[in-house]
Structure 1
């Protein structure tokens, strides 16, 4: 008996060692099979499917919730527009709203200071449906308000919210002399999270205007966008904010102040245009920054944007290009013709410039200063962007062509925009580059793809495919830029 016990005691370490080795062997086999299964898949297996393979073999049960549903991309149905107007001026400005408003597609309201006069009854269907603003004299702060009219304007946001439209993601506010480019607005707003607080807009083109109010304030004439949850929060506190700031005399600054008190800063986005400018703004529109063109304001304070047209006709002419391809509207494309040493600067749907010289993009991106600032007493710096002075030098002054017509190529796959000369340049040719005069050119046709839209912040490249060999018409064809394409 004692010998048996002694033998078992002597064998016990060996038995334990054997059990351990057996466990290690089994574990090693399992790991080997696991490794072989995951990291030596069939030949058609893609590494990116690794996570899905694991989920198929070892599914994780996630209870279905609304958070797992991907909401649809923001579209025109998610936006409500609030247009602020006055019955005294509506008769002069209604054509601007009619130019962009799309009955039964866009939704929103025109807010007036009083009911429409008989001349607008019945209310035309091509206008936004109207509402009459609430009487601000009922507010406790009314006796202390510096400018009740401005309070009416800022309270329009709250009144717009109270209309109770459903499935709203964004409220876009603008004036009745503002033209909006809705397709581009939809594309821009779709890039933002509408469930967060957002206040999106841009400041003035002029330094003094921003200095007088704020460099971080959206100018309402240019238009701005507010996300639904932000408007919901603002509507509950707006009157209290007005009570707090009755001495503010500009609605845009009232809104900026109230939103700042809520902790919401401005999200700057280029493309909204206040146009605190006077005279001829063609230089600005011909060198638009590489951002979608979203709005145009103060149309009545500048020259008609197309020569030989009145302001309303000029806006409707621009809208023809907007309807054809809003993504490219006013987007600047630059290309060169080396045999003649010419530079072409094309503002799609608006203008084309020919320079009898090879001029770098860094210069052509700067607008020609055909305009002046809003304030006559402004001192430099005048603008929030760099400009170029006009020149009488034949090597620096462009030949200017404006949009004449829009059509399709015979095959239908190209949009053809045609630009005609504004007037004779009246300068000698640029002798520095070989006296190749562009004076004979009377028309420029630009071919762009009809089915491919330009991505926000993207660019096109172009080639000169016909240099006026027939009928003094030059043809330019847009194409995708090649990798690492440069001027040289």
Structure 2
């Protein structure tokens, strides 16, 4: 079966030497720091084209931290006058090297991103460098979570980190052993350096491959390293509405979200760029809890609450155990039509019009830090009326009158994610519910 997309569509043309638009310190020798991993130990290589950057820069600028994050953006040609002067809010840019003669072919899109790993090290190798992160121009990265995840690994060893595609067929056609680059590829410094040293030879060995992600995997395999999959890297090879997935995220730090140009806006009544900025307002307060699902119950009404921190909240009009609520509602469609299931690397549940199965849906509205209680308050407002009768089997307690859900959470980030958090419904009135998030007690059962 021939697919209509390139699995590594973020591997755009890379690298022709041009001056940086912003200054960087570029020490050429490495003395690996023994200090705990922090953002200064990472460099980002972000790939775009001059044409795409006009409408995609808002994605990158939503998470890029000027003068803090290190890295650069690779374009296929010099920016047009409309993009100049180059703003401080964007990563500094470079234009890709022309490697057509090296590979003796004109179509080098797949190889350019791989070659970019070498180019990035050539320009931004510095004395404290521990990790190289490569990504796409329509991907959102959660850099605090990236740092926390990478800090758990020994950066002096060979590590190749990233995520599978959630779409089963993508993995089957390309590889179950590759990181899908739209969701980000993270390489420890020694592995990136070894890959750079063998870059030209490897690109020639695999010149026949038309996937940049698969080429990267093949080159790394020849060095002797294999993928360490990360659940928080999201390639998002889907179409349509991904709210069902984002509302039931696994218990793992959110690292990246890809394919924003191909998906519906993740918030109602906002466009894609507004949705991106809105999501990042919650991320600025606490990335460790982003999209982390917390479930609790209001026994008097027989209601179940499911909170996806910083994104959505749901009320079900009956008591439903976590083992069921953690299964995403299939609001989305696969990247391409397939003859039959399975389509995904995870279980899904179909949308339902049963009033005992269909949730009342609320989306993130605002965030504030409460000084008097030393907590973070996130508010979620009703998206639309559910327009269904009450669930009769659990007492006909309709939640239609609830217009807002307020969630109080600790101001400190989570450092261990071996288990989800728990919550309590602490207050209900005529229009809103108030919920407090906490660590689960020893032996506590969420049911």
TM-score, normalised by the number of residues in structure 2: 0.91
Number of the residue aligned with 1:116: 79
The answer to whether the Cα contact below 8 Å between 1:373 and 1:382 also exists between their aligned partners in 2 is yes
Which residue in the other structure is 1:359 paired with? 320
1:470-481 paired onto structure 2 within 5 Å: 470=430, 472-481=431-440
1:162 alignment partner in structure 2: 122
Partner in structure 1 of residue 5 of structure 2: none
Aligned with 1:429: secondary structure? coil
Cα distance change, pair 87–412 in 1 and its aligned pair in 2 (3 A)? farther
SS of structure 1 residue aligned to 2:110: helix
Q: Choose from 75, 88, 113 the match for 2:38.
A: 75
Query: Going by fraction, where is helix more abundant, 1 or 2?
Result: 1
Are the aligned partners of 1:412 and 1:450 in contact in 2 as well (CA < 8 Å)? no
Kindly state the Cα deviation for residue 164 of structure 1 after the two structures are TM-superposed: 4.0
CA distance in 1, matches of 2:143, 2:413: 18
- Would the aligned equivalents of 2:355 and 2:390 in 1 still touch at CA under 8 Å? yes
Unaligned ranges ≥5, structure 2? 1-31
Among 319, 330, 341, the alignment partner of 1:380 is: 341
Conserved 8 A contact 1:356-1:436:
yes
C-alpha distance 232-385 of structure 1, shift in aligned 2 (>3 A) = same
User: In terms of Rg, which structure is larger?
Assistant: 1
- Where does 1:13-162 land on structure 2 (aligned, <5 Å)? 71-139=34-102, 141-143=103-105, 147-162=107-122
The aligned residue for residue 334 of structure 1 is 295
Aligned counterpart for 2:213 among listed residues 249, 252, 256: 252
| Counterpart-to-counterpart distance in 1, 2:442 and 2:417 | 18
CA contact (8 A) 1:292 1:457 kept: no
- Alignment partner of 2:356 out of 395, 407, 411: 395
Counterpart CA distance in 1 for 2:246 and 2:268 is 14
Residue 457 of structure 1: how far off its partner (Å): 3.4
2:283 match = 322
> Which residue pairs with 1:57 in the alignment?
none
CA distance in 1, matches of 2:281, 2:301: 33
CA RMSD of aligned residues (A): 1.3
Secondary structure of the corresponding residue to residue 62 of structure 2: helix
Mapped to 2, the partners of 1:412 and 1:154 lie a distance apart of 49
Distance 1:153 1:417 in 2: 39
Residues 228 and 70 of structure 1, relative CA distance in 2, 3 Å threshold:
closer
Asked if the contact 2:135–2:181 (Cα under 8 Å) also holds between the matched residues in 1, the reply is: yes
Q: 2 CA distance for matches of 1:479 and 1:218?
A: 34
Specify the alignment match of 1:60 in structure 2: none
- Does residue 462 (structure 1) correspond to residue 423 (structure 2)? The answer is yes
- Matched residue, 1:485: 444
Task: State the 4+ residue runs in structure 1 displaced beyond 6 angstroms.
Answer: none
Q: CA deviation at 1:378?
A: 5.1
Residue 347 of structure 1, aligned match among 281, 284, 308: 308
Q: How far apart, in 1, do the equivalents of 2:153 and 2:266 lie? A: 32
State whether structure 2 residue 330 is matched by structure 1 residue 369.
yes
- Asked if structure 2 preserves the Cα contact closer than 8 Å seen for 1:327 and 1:455, the reply is no
Higher RCO structure (Cα 8 Å, ≥6 apart): 2
Output the CA distance in 2 between the equivalents of 1:300 and 1:158.
Answer: 28
Where does structure 1 lack aligned partners over 5 or more consecutive residues? 1-68
Q: Using the TM superposition, give the Cα deviation of residue 150 of structure 1 relative to its aligned residue in structure 2, in angstroms.
A: 1.3
Give 1:10's aligned residue.
none
CA distance in 2, matches of 1:317, 1:456: 25
CA displacement at 1:412 relative to structure 2: 4.9
Residue by residue over 1:449-470, the C-alpha shift from the partner in whole angstroms, topping out at 9 and shown as x without a partner, is 1135353334211110112x24
Corresponding residue number in structure 2 for 1:243: 204
